Each structure stands twice: as structure tokens, then as C-alpha cells.
Amino acid sequence: MGKSWGDGYKNSIMGIGETVRTTMRAKIEALGDSASLFSYSSSTKTETEEGDISITDWKTSTSIKGISGNDFAYRKISSLVGIDSNTSDRIFIIKDSVTVAERDKITIESDNYEVREVREINSTNSIIVAKRLVLIKNINY
């Protein structure tokens, strides 16, 4: 059985998604700020008498690049994929290939942030092109 018109359309849409992902990766690498990512799951934790969790050692960090929501570069990228950038929390766009989870720590310059939310940014055909993080400044991190 031969290919149908739908197969060609599907392949062209997949190609567009791959192009958007490649463009996003390049923009983040070229325009992004350097940051350090620390994994909450691999950190050393202790429980206080009150039942609170305290992190005593974050272990080693991974160097990443990202674009902050208040940057011109972020506004440019967000307009490409239709993200509303009006928020009081710090938004940080990173490459799709970075492994990150809620409660991880990100240090940008000398400021420590807790990752509060991780969202995948998808192109029109569900290819993940980047990740959008909501960061909360956390002096205890």
C-alpha cells in the first residue's frame, strides 16, 4: 500500500517541530544566562523535630543555560510559541533536554530559586521544544 497525502503532511509537520526545537536550543544557548541546577531528589536531607525537611547538602550541580522572563530574548522566544509572560514569579526557559523537577534548586548569579513548576513547551505537533520553569526566590535553598 502506498503512502497517502496524510503521511506527507504528517512528516512535514514533524519537520516543522524539529526545526522549532533546533531554533529554540540555539537561541537559548546563544542568548541564555548561565545557571547551576541542583537536584532535590539527590540532595541530603534531615528532618527537624517539627517535621520540616532541611537540606544539608545539595551535592554537585549541573551547568545549564536559560532565558529569564524579564529578558528581551525571553519575550522574543515567548512570542514564537504563544506564551503569556505576565507573572510575578521568575520564568526561566531552558532546553528541552535538561532534566529538572519541582523542588530542584537553580542558582542564577548569586540568587537561589526553588523550581515551583515545570511545563513542557510543545510545538503544533506535540514535539517538546523547550521547558518553562516557574522559579520562586528561596533564601533557605
pLDDT above 70 as % of the chain: 75
Q: Which domains does the chain have, with CATH numbers?
A: 5-137 (2.40.10)
The residues, ordered by sequence, that sit 6+ positions from 43 with a Cβ below 8 Å of its Cβ are 55, 57, 58, 59
In the numeric block, the cell 548561565 is attached to 34
User: What's the CA gap between 50 and 27, in Å, rounded?
Assistant: 45
Q: Is the pLDDT at 131 greater than 80, yes or no?
A: yes
Nearest to 118 by CA among 137, 86, 91: 91
Asked if residue 33 lies in contact with residue 65, where contact means CB atoms within 8 angstroms, the answer is: yes
**Predicted pLDDT at 87:** 46
In the numeric block, the cell 527537624 is attached to 48
In the numeric block, the cell 510559541 is attached to 81
In the numeric block, the cell 547551576 is attached to 36
pTM: 0.76
Query: Most confidently modeled of 87-96, 110-119, 131-140?
Result: 110-119
**Predicted pLDDT at 139:** 74
22-36, 92-106, 125-139 — which is least confidently predicted?
A: 125-139
Average pLDDT for 42-68: 92
Q: Is the pLDDT at 77 greater than 70, yes or no?
A: no
Average pLDDT for 77-87: 59
Neighbours of 56 (CB within 10 A): 8
Query: Judging by DSSP bridges, how do beta strands 111-122 and 128-137 pair with one another?
Result: antiparallel
- Residue 101: alpha-carbon gap to chain centroid: 9
